[in-house]
Amino acid sequence: MGKTSLSNIAAITDGVGNDAYNNTNHNGEAVNEWKEHYKQTVLGMPHLVSFGSHFFHEKLRFLVLPRYGCDVQKKFYEFGRRFHPKTAFTLCYYIIDILEYIHSHGYVHNDMKASNLVLGCPPGEREKEFLL
């Protein structure tokens, strides 16, 4: 589907015989506990379907995420390289919450930039932004 400076992006569909990932739900309890502890109703953390590694000339690590919409970089260009202050503050609010969550679990985001922050709207939640 695409390629970033550090990774390839591929679409995986259910039922095609591709055993590159196991369909394990890793979302849920940890995120819900964190939201409850910090009295948050939304954590802009994407649903993590699965993760793992594969050897192909070298060890490759991967995440399996649902398909999301466009990235923040594209929206930034779409709006003439300016965000309304409320939009910028909202993005910052979500980004700080997500980074606090992943750091509290011993992880870091190694390539933080607008093109790696994806927006998505799950069915029934049209107004919420989800970032990665």
Which amino acids are annotated catalytic?
111
Q: Residue 128: how many CA atoms within 13 Å on its side-chain side?
A: 14
Q: What is the DSSP letter of 17?
A: S
**DSSP secondary structure of 17-63:** S--SS------SHHHHHHHHHTT-S---PPP--EEEEEESSSEEEEE
Spatial separation of the C-alpha atoms in residues 110 and 131, rounded to whole Å: 15
d(C-alpha 126, C-alpha 76), whole Å = 19
